[in-house]
Structures are given as C-alpha cells and as structure tokens.
Amino acid sequence: MAFALLPTAWAQMPGMEMKEGTKSPMPTMPSDLPRWMNSRGLDEIFYKRGPYNWAIDRIPAFAKDMYATGVGHAMAYEALVTGQANQLESKVFSKIDWVLQHPPSMPVDEAAISPRFVQKYGYLEKVFDWAHTLHFQTIDVFSHPGMTDAQKEVEIDRLWKFYQSEPYAITGLPMNMEYLDSFPYSMTFRRNYPKVNGLFWGYHWLQTVNYDMLYRVPVKDHVPQYEVLGEQYRTSELYKTDRDFMPMTAEMSPRFAKRFPYIANAFDNLHMLHDNVNDILAYPGLTEKQKEDQIKIAIYRVLATTHAGQKAGQGEPMTLHDHRHPTSTPGMGMMKGSEDDVMFMSGMGWMDMSECAHCSIALPEEGPWGATVSANGWTMMVRCMMCARDMAAETPGRAIIRAATEDDNRLLIMISDEEGNWTSNIKDVVFLEVFGEHPECSSWSRAFTSQAAFEKFVQANPDLKEVKPLSLEAWSKLNYGTPETYRKIDRPNPYRSGGGSTPPSDGGSQ
C-alpha cells in the first residue's frame, strides 16, 4: 500500500494543513481494497455456538455496563452524521451519560439507534460488530462455570480462529500506535469533543480491564472484583478528559495479554480504528466522499488480510507494517517514544514493562511468582507479594491483587477496602515473608494456599526452615515502603512535548 500526498487542490482546502511534526501524509486509496467494502449489506454474523454464550450475565453489573457502551457509541456516531456535532458536548453527552448510568439489561442493536450512520457506513459496522462479538464471546468463555481453565484457553484459541475466518477480522499483529495516530486528521475528535472522547476511552478502559478480572480466576471471584472495577469505571474512568492516549489492553490486563497477545493486539487495533473514525468524521474540510474514502482506508490498515504473511516483532518504524512490540510484551504495539520495553503510560509516567513496577528488578522468567496490582484505574505487574501489598498501600482507595500461589490452578484474589483491610478468596492462605535483597524477593515473599503447602516449601529450602507462616491479618499489617532499588524513569511526557497536541495529563510516575 502506498501513501502519497493528495493533489494540491485538496491539500489547500480549509483545515487540511499538516500537523506540526506529522510524518504521515493524508493516505490515498489502496489498489487492493477488499470488494466487500462496496457492498451495502450488513452481513451480520452470529456467535460461535457454545454452552458459554451470554455467561457474561452471571456478572449482572458488568454485563449492563458492557451493553451500554454500544449505545453510547451509536448515539455519538448518529449525531456526527446527522449534523448534530455541535451538540455532542452538551445534549448528546447528557443522553449518553444517562444511558451509562441506567444501562440496559440486554444487548441493544446499534443499527436501531444509529440508522443513518449504518446506512452510510455499513462496511465499517461489519468490522465493528465482528470485533465486538469477539469481545463478548471471550468474556463469555471466561465467565462460564462449566469449563476448566485449560478448557477455556483452548476454546479462546478456537474463538480466535473462528473470528479470523471472516474477511472483516482485524489483525492480531501489533501495530505502531504512534503511526496509526499520525495522520492530518488525528486527534481532532479528542481536542474538539473531550467529554465524549473521555466516554469513548472510558469504554475502552472497561473493555480491556475486564480480561485480567476473568482470566484463570474462579467464577465466584468475578462479581467481587467488579464491585471495585465497576465503581471505578462509573465514577472516574468515564469522565477523564486528560488521558494522553487510549487505554491499551496490555496495560489494563497484562496477564491476559501475555497469554493471548494476538487478541490483545486485535482489541487495541479495533480501538485505534474507533479513534481514526472519530477523527475523520470530526475533521473540517473533508467532503462526505472524502470521509467515506478515509474511513475505508482506516479499515484497510487494520484488517487481517492487509497484513497476511507479516510477522510479529518485525517491520520498519512508523510504517503500515511496523509490527514491532516491547520485548516483554508481544500483546502491545509500539507507543509514542517507546524503546525496547520502556514506554509512557498515561497516569503512571515512564515504565519498563519488563520490570517490577515497585522495585524495578526484572520480572522472573519462570513461575510461580508475583502478582498484579489494580488500583485507581491502573494495573501493574510486580515480582512478589511484598511489592504487591506495599505498592497497593501507596495508592488511596480500594485495590485488587491477583497473585500466584504454589498451585498453578489456584490464583489468589485479594480485595482491599478504603482503609486497606484485605479479604481473600482462599480461606487458609498464608504468607512467606523474610525481608531481604529485592533481586531474590520472588523466593522469600510468596503466598500459599495452606499451611501444609507452606511447610512443604520451607522444608525444601533449608535456609527458610525457621520461618513461620504469616496469616492474612499479620501479613497485611506489614509495610516496607518503596524499595531502595526503585528506579524512576525521568523523561518528558512524549504526548505533551513539541507543542502539546493533547490536553495535559496529571499522570506521573508513582
């Protein structure tokens, strides 16, 4: 696919000036655009058959919030194509917000809410609907109580093959997010409609944070986690207008992204397509035909068929086929300013994805080890239970720790209240903690499903034979603060340097 500058007459139209620092010109139509994009039929495809379908309803609040996201998207898109863009931040925003606070109890057909948009951009709706089906069926599998974790992983891979079998599928290869956000129209929507864009990115937060809530987590522990995450979503994430970039799947659900990098990439590419479409529809100076063409080109960029034969980890920077990714995170494309594993995370600052977020020591290659900590809208990986507890304590509000135990099939889920009091999904959980040098913390700071499991471990490790197990209450009262090994990466925010193309963020390193 070749990209070239458009004819001078188009380039000089009002609002068509190139952004300062933009490396990518306005794209032109590829010669191999799929023929189905010229078909006006919706060609809706139903779910893959399975006993797990609609298991999301086992988490009622989560299901309703997910159903409402489609309503919000549809309302905004219909406003954009019916001349109501000037009401997006007022009347339309209020309507969407009402739906989000009073979500439907069942899926809603977006075409019934946005008939003009679907009539005009039916080819786009095919891509959106098919990817959203993958979203929901992935959730359904994880929410189903009638399958083991191993069976669920096998079925998720089958779902992925089912999804990829259709021409509307989005690629599972990582794509360069800076490149996809570098066109002349890029960032128009978030600048002009920050409140509605905040809602959209709030949806993306919800649609990416949920997978670690579900993946290899006992079904009985889904609802308690969503009590925390749902409150965060409805009271905070939906109304943020200072994010530097949309939420990324590997940021919100790092465990899931590591196991299913192709699905994580597909979801990020889908969400970037949403951003591209928003920007194109909001960009001044484009005729209706030019908007249609640019939306088709945006679809083409992320289709699986466009990238057939390409491989993850390869590609030239800032090109269509830049499929590089952070070394430790194949489920994430390169971000603005990224190098190797170092990237800027909105709300956290510069982070190294290969290191513990609390002690800055490299994450171990083998398990069982460590945990993830979810608090205040972010999720970070840590090496040991001590890092998890102390990092959670640094952040006001409730937190969730998902931690490995000696049993690969029993994930420890702990949830704190506002005062930092922890509850556990494993009744007899005990902890090993012998404060020492952090490079070895994954060996002396662990969680065990029982005292018997603890004693078996210490017997196999003579240096620990005198150590006594800690109860959850005793363990939770400890706090060693920020380790001396913690390394803050002090660099400017790449999204604000060089002119500040997005609203400033309050985010910074912990």
Q: d(Cα 485, Cα 475) in Å, to the nearest integer?
A: 22
* Contact between 469 and 449 (Cβ < 8 Å): no
Q: d(Cα 368, Cα 58) in Å, to the nearest integer?
A: 29
What pLDDT sits at residue 42?
66
Residue type for position 358: H
What pLDDT sits at residue 364?
85
**Got the DSSP string for 299-318?**
HHHHBTGGGTT--TT---TT
What pLDDT sits at residue 436?
77
Residues in a beta bridge with 14: none
Query: In the 8-state DSSP scheme, what is residue 362?
Result: B
- Spatial neighbors of 56 by CB under 8 A, at least 6 apart, are 62, 63, 66, 136, 139, 140, 143
Nearest Cα to Cα of residue 224 among 423, 387, 91, 78:
423
Q: Give the DSSP H or E segment for 293.
A: helix 288-302
What pLDDT sits at residue 499?
40
Nearest Cα to Cα of residue 249 among 208, 204, 216, 200:
208
Nearest Cα to Cα of residue 479 among 358, 363, 322, 364:
358
* Contact between 367 and 411 (Cβ < 8 Å): no
Task: Give every residue of the chain whose pLDDT is below 70, as ranges.
Answer: 1-23, 40-42, 367-368, 497-510
Q: d(Cα 78, Cα 87) in Å, to the nearest integer?
A: 12
Helix (H, G, I), strand (E, B) or coil at 247: coil
Residue type for position 414: M
Query: In the 8-state DSSP scheme, what is residue 169?
Result: P
Nearest Cα to Cα of residue 245 among 181, 294, 195:
181
Positive/negative CA dihedral, 138, 143, 145, 148: positive
What pLDDT sits at residue 43?
73
Q: What is the pTM of this model?
A: 0.92
Both structure tokens of 75: 């309302």
Q: d(Cα 390, Cα 480) in Å, to the nearest integer?
A: 7
Helix (H, G, I), strand (E, B) or coil at 218: coil
For the chain, give percent helix, strand, coil, nearest 5.
45, 10, 45
C-alpha distances out from residue 402 to 317, 384, 426, Å:
35, 11, 12
What pLDDT sits at residue 439?
82
* CB neighbour class for 10 (10 Å; exposed up to 12, middle 13-18, buried from 19): middle
Q: d(Cα 207, Cα 184) in Å, to the nearest integer?
A: 28
435: left (phi over 0), alpha (psi -120 to 50) or beta: beta
Place of tokens 């193309």: 501
Q: d(Cα 449, Cα 482) in Å, to the nearest integer?
A: 27
* Contact between 85 and 196 (Cβ < 8 Å): no
What pLDDT sits at residue 7?
34
What pLDDT sits at residue 331?
97
Both structure tokens of 136: 């929901």
- pLDDT, tens digit (0-9, with 9 covering 90-100), for 449-500: 999 999 999 999 998 989 999 999 999 999 999 999 999 999 999 998 654 3
Query: In the 8-state DSSP scheme, what is residue 358?
Result: T
Helices (H), 102-221: 110-113, 115-120, 122-143, 149-164, 177-180, 188-192, 194-214
Both structure tokens of 193: 């409609």
Query: In the 8-state DSSP scheme, what is residue 470?
Result: B
- Domain residue extents for the chain: 13-307, 343-476
C-alpha distance across the termini of the chain, in Å: 42
What pLDDT sits at residue 498?
54
Taking CA 354 as the corner, what is the angle to CA 352 and CA 359, rounded to the nearest 5 degrees?
70
What pLDDT sits at residue 504?
38
> What does CATH list as the number for 343-476?
3.30.450.410
Nearest Cα to Cα of residue 438 among 355, 367, 359:
359
